[in-house]
Amino acid sequence: MKKEKRTVQFDNDLEIEAYHFEGIMQKFPNHFHEHYVLGFVESGCRFLTCKNKEYTIDVGDLVVFNPLDNHACEQVDGKTLDWRCLNIEKDVMRRMTEEITGANYLPIFTSTVASRSDAISALRDVHDMIMKEAKGFQKEETFYFLIEQLIADYTKATDATLAPISGEIQTACDYMENNFAETVTLADLSRISGLNKYTLLRNFTMQRGITPYQYLSTVRVNQAKKSPEAGISPIEAALQCGFTDQSHFTRFFRTFIGITPKRYQDIFKDDNERPNAKK
């Protein structure tokens, strides 16, 4: 069996993250990200669910997640996975989209999985250059043309939002997003939404595609991802984001992100030590 390897690289020029998970068998539970994800499988085969739809992703398939797209995946062929992706924050995508189209909006990618996509070659090239810490404008040029192709082939020209949800469920979401650092209970969500516990659980899961507890855990992990850039230690991040202790935080972080908080923090520490690193 191929030795497991998990690598994350932040590129200062493009202001994006590149992930490379090789030789892994990890199952990722239902969760979401606040950023865009552009990824592909280099080897292996995965069963993916996204927004209550099912896919089998294989070598050569492009996978795209919009911000807040809930998704889960697991290996289906008994072999290890080689997964590579770019994580693009919304402000970076908005800036790129405006430069490319002349319009200020966040695109919605309408195809979660695009089989044998022509964009894989450019995506692989950008990913490879980031991993090798390449400099020069070839990397930026390739990235711009990649985003241009993806916008043209896989988006609709409207601002990226979730499908409409009820006021009660939005109230519960807002409460968790504003109080993630505190103890949040099902009784709290029932009270502020005006729904009984079962109705809340059923309606929330149907409308958001993720349970309230999974939503809260994801909010906490996504918030904790911002801490390493500010030099906050894992234990401080754990307490600030509502986790009971560092081991609880580490377990959730690795489950949702794929690496430990310490390893994620190291990419920013290493990056800041480079002479040309942005501050």
Stretch among 92-106, 129-143, 189-203, 221-235 having the lowest mean pLDDT? 221-235
Tokens 């939002």 correspond to 161
pLDDT at 270 exceeding the cut of 70:
no
The CA angle 44-49-51, to the nearest 5 degrees, is: 145
**What value does the mean pLDDT of the chain take?**
86
pLDDT at res. 277: 42
In angstroms, the CA 236 to CA 217 distance is 17
Query: pLDDT tens across 39-81, in order?
Result: 999 999 999 999 889 999 999 899 999 999 999 999 888 889 9
Q: Select from 148, 100, 146 the least CA-distant residue to 123.
A: 146
Alpha-carbon distance 155 to 148, whole Å?
10
pLDDT at 158 over 70: no
Q: Residue-wise over 144-158: b if at least 16 C-beta within 10 A, else e?
A: bebbbbbbeebbeee
Please enumerate in sequence order all residues whose Cβ is within 8 A of that of 108, keeping only pairs 6 or more positions apart, or say none. Answer: 66, 155, 156, 158, 159, 160, 161
φ and ψ at residue 47, rounded to 5 degrees: -95, 125
User: DSSP per residue over the chain, as a string?
Assistant: -PPPEEEEEEETTTTEEEEEEEEE-PPEEEE--SSEEEEEEEES-EEEEETTEEEEE-TT-EEEE-TT--EEEEESSSS-EEEEEEEE-HHHHHHHHHHHHS---PPEE--SEETT-TTHHHHHHHHHHHHTT--SHHHHHHHHHHHHHHHHHHEESS---PPP--HHHHHHHHHHHHSTTS---HHHHHHHHT--HHHHHHHHHHHHSS-HHHHHHHHHHHHHHTTGGGT--HHHHHHHTT-SSHHHHHHHHHHHHSS-HHHHHHHHHHHHTSTT---
- What pLDDT score does 102 carry? 87
The more confident residue out of 244 and 147 is 147
Give the closest residue to 225 by CA, choosing from 64, 29, 32: 32
**pLDDT exceeds cutoff 90 at 162:** no
- pLDDT value of residue 228: 62
Q: From CA 45, how far away is CA 48, in angstroms rounded? A: 10
- pLDDT for residue 154 is more than 60: yes
